């Protein structure tokens, strides 16, 4: 438990909060994330959460939290939590249904894909504010010349491939994307101005590659969103 220096007699002490008042990201009415951290509820210790709503095939983009572990709890619907084990070098896919959880250790690369509509996930972190580094930022902000030189790639081909990623994605695919088609970035959602820049059901169990083994879903194409940050809204 975190050591607290909170004055619990102070007039500003907080014990409750309505998450709908702190929207972290909205793609559309069925795909959005609300957040709770110490900035919203000042009596929290080393805990925070993201309240995630997804429809079929939507993806919380690949990312990692360098300062927190993440416990993903399925409230309704179904999803696959995928992570790369940095020690075994294996991609692991964990399908979860209501009442089931998947744990992502601190700093591990991971993502979540909804496998049915009306999926509701709760991501719980062991930090008052989880730091969040999304894959779309790594792809779009690292110079193409560095990727090309480091991995012996065709620089022009790589630059063309990642050119549509002009903003942080958060939830993909972007609005208007069609399978096999590259879509440009959509407009920044209005709430981004407020919060600023910073952050078919399968049996439950461990599954390994392929990374995207559900062909009924469109392949994720990146290109929509806003810059991440601290969600102390």
pLDDT at 214: 36
Backbone dihedral region of 77: left (phi > 0), alpha (psi from -120 to 50 degrees) or beta? left
Backbone phi, then psi, for 124, in 5-degree steps?
A: -110, 130
Using a pLDDT cut of 70, give the percent of the chain over it: 74
Q: What stretches of the chain show up as alpha helix (H) in DSSP?
A: 135-141, 144-151, 155-162, 191-195
Mean pLDDT of the chain: 80
- Answer whether residue 207 shows pLDDT above 50: no
- Decide if 133 contacts 61 (C-beta within 8 A): no
Q: What is the mean pLDDT of residues 35-41?
A: 94
Query: Residue 164: is the preceding peptide bond cis (ω within 30°)?
Result: no
Q: What would the mean pLDDT of 24-33 be, rounded to a whole number?
A: 96
The yes or no reply on domain 19-195 and CATH 3.40.50.880 is: no
User: Which is more confidently placed, 95 or 226?
Assistant: 95
Where is pLDDT greater, at 100 or 199?
Answer: 100
Place of tokens 């929290």: 44
pTM for this one? 0.77
Q: Which residue ranges make up each domain of the chain?
A: 19-195
CA pair distance 18, 29, nearest whole angstrom: 18
Per-residue pLDDT of 188-198, as tens digits, reads 333 333 333 23
């Amino acid at each position: 438990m975190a050591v607290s220096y909170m004055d619990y007699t102070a007039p500003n002490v907080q014990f409750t909060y309505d998450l709908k008042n702190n929207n972290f990201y909205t793609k559309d009415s069925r795909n959005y994330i609300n957040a709770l951290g110490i900035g919203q509820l000042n009596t929290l210790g080393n805990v925070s959460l993201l309240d995630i709503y997804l429809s079929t095939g939507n993806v919380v983009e690949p990312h990692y939290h360098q300062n927190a572990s993440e416990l993903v709890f399925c409230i309704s619907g179904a999803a696959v939590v995928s992570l790369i084990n940095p020690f075994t070098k294996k991609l692991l896919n964990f399908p979860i249904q209501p009442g089931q959880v998947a744990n992502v250790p601190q700093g591990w690369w991971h993502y979540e894909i909804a496998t049915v509509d009306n999926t509701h996930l709760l991501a719980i972190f062991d930090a008052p504010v989880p730091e969040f580094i999304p894959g779309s930022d790594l792809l779009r902000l690292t110079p193409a010349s560095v990727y090309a030189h480091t991995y012996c790639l065709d620089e022009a081909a790589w630059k063309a491939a990642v050119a549509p990623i002009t903003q942080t994605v958060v939830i993909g695919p972007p609005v208007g994307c069609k399978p096999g088609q590259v879509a440009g970035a959509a407009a920044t959602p209005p709430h981004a101005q407020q919060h600023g820049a910073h952050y078919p059901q399968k049996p439950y169990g461990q599954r390994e590659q392929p990374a995207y083994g559900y062909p009924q879903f469109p392949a994720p194409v990146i290109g929509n969103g806003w810059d991440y940050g601290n969600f102390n809204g």
